[in-house]
C-alpha cells in the first residue's frame, strides 16, 4: 500500500515562511511527476507547484517567485518552501504523485491527506 504523508503546515503571520514536506512510502517502483495543490474553503482545488522526475518545476502566477518546490528522489520526498506568505494562501495543502506501484501495470495518481496552512493578517 502506497502512502503520501504531508507535514509542516501551521499558523504563520503574513510575510512569514513555511516549509512543507511530503514523503511517499510503500510498494513503489517509480515516481514520475509530483505536485502540490491547495484547497481553500468554498473553492476548487488548485495547482500550486509541480515537479517532474528530472526536476523541472512549474508554478501558477499566484505563487511564482514566492514558492519553491524541490524533490529528493532517494527519499521519495518533495518539499514546498513558501515565502512571503499572504492571507490568501490559507488552505489545506495536498501533495500528489504519479507513480508505478509494485505489480502495477500503469502509473496512477495518489494523494496525501493534506496539511493545513493558515496565514494571519
* Farthest-apart Cα atoms in the chain, separation: 48
Q: How far from the centroid of its chain's Cα atoms is residue 78's Cα?
A: 7
The CA distance from 91 to 101, in Å, is 29
Q: Are the CB atoms for 25 and 2 separated by under 8 Å? A: yes
pLDDT tens-digit readout, 16-69: 999 999 999 999 999 999 999 999 999 999 999 999 999 999 999 999 999 999
Residue 5 has pLDDT above 90, yes or no: yes
Residue 98 has pLDDT above 90, yes or no: yes
Residue 1 has pLDDT above 90, yes or no: no
Amino acid at each position: 500500500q502506497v502512502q503520501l504523508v504531508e507535514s509542516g503546515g501551521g499558523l504563520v503571520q503574513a510575510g512569514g515562511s513555511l516549509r512543507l514536506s511530503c514523503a511517499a512510502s510503500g510498494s513503489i517502483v517509480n515516481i514520475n511527476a509530483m505536485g502540490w495543490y491547495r484547497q481553500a474553503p468554498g473553492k476548487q482545488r488548485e495547482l500550486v507547484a509541480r515537479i517532474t522526475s528530472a526536476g523541472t518545476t512549474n508554478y501558477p502566477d499566484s505563487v511564482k517567485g514566492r514558492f519553491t518546490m524541490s524533490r529528493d528522489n532517494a527519499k521519495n520526498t518533495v518539499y514546498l518552501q513558501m515565502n512571503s506568505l499572504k492571507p490568501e494562501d490559507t488552505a489545506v495543502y495536498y501533495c500528489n504523485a504519479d507513480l508505478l506501484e509494485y505489480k502495477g501495470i500503469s502509473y496512477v495518481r495518489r494523494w496525501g491527506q493534506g496539511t493545513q496552512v493558515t496565514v494571519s493578517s
